[in-house]
Amino acid sequence: MKAIILAAGRGSRMKGLTANTPKCLIELHGHPLLDWQIAALTAAGIDNIAIVTGYRRDALTSRSLQEFYNARWAETNMVASLERADAWLRAETCIISYSDIFYESTAISALMECDASLAVTYDPGWRILWEKRFGDPLLDAETFCLRSDGTLAEIGQRPTSVDDIEGQYMGLLRIAPDGWREIRRIRSNLSSEQRDKMHMTDTLQMVIEAKRMQIAAVPYTDGWGEIDSPNDLAAY
């Protein structure tokens, strides 16, 4: 199994911290976020790792990772970046990781052990972490609703209460070739502008609404976090 780290964007909410540095090279406890991700992936047994670059790609060339480059990184969102790795995604199952998160190898192992064509990890105890980061748990939160069989029923919408959030999507996914075909099919029916602007959670919600494929939701309770602002560094 291979892994793809999505690191094309600048991360403008980090302000001056990403003025000359890709967001994935911001240090947490003395190590760049990218190193935390690579360590977790390799500890889970994945050593074939690619990175999708864009902003300041030159700062990432020394990492000895397979590179896919999104030249339009400033104009596109994450799924457009993922399309740069189309050859890998067509060929075999891949673990997809956002580049602004950290997690333990157990999160990767759980996705590897799942046999679903599309799967995401989620934190069922999200509220404690979100209150630590934002105070109000509904700030920067999105819906995450599950069916009784553990598959995803809704994701990425605006919640009206904490009851709309059964977990926090972490930015870790498993995509098998048939899952990628479904994503490509959905995107093929959109305009180029819609494809450029589509977020990952928007894409997953469209998969749910198409009702052709279910998305497995894999609970994860070990350590993890998302670095989205300078305040997050202090929170972690």
**pLDDT tens per residue, range 158-198:** 999 999 999 999 999 999 999 999 999 999 999 999 999 99
- Using CA atoms, how far apart are residues 103 and 39, in angstroms rounded to an integer? 10
Max Cα–Cα distance, the chain, nearest Å: 46
- Residue 210 is predicted with a pLDDT of 98
What is the pTM for the complete model shown? 0.96
- Residue 218 is predicted with a pLDDT of 98
Structural domains of the chain, ranges and CATH numbers in brackets: 2-235 (3.90.550.10)
- Residue 16 is predicted with a pLDDT of 80
**pLDDT tens per residue, range 117-127:** 999 999 999 99
- Residue 12 is predicted with a pLDDT of 77
The token pair at 27 is 């240090």
pLDDT < 50: residue spans in the chain? none
Pairing of strands 144-146, 31-32: unpaired
- Residue 15 is predicted with a pLDDT of 78
The token pair at 236 is 């972690």
Please report which helix (H) or strand (E) contains residue 42, including its range. Answer: helix 33-43
Contact call for residues 49 and 65 (beta carbons, < 8 A): yes
Please report which helix (H) or strand (E) contains residue 53, including its range. Answer: strand 49-53
Please report which helix (H) or strand (E) contains residue 175, including its range. Answer: strand 168-175
- Residue 186 is predicted with a pLDDT of 98
- Residue 199 is predicted with a pLDDT of 95
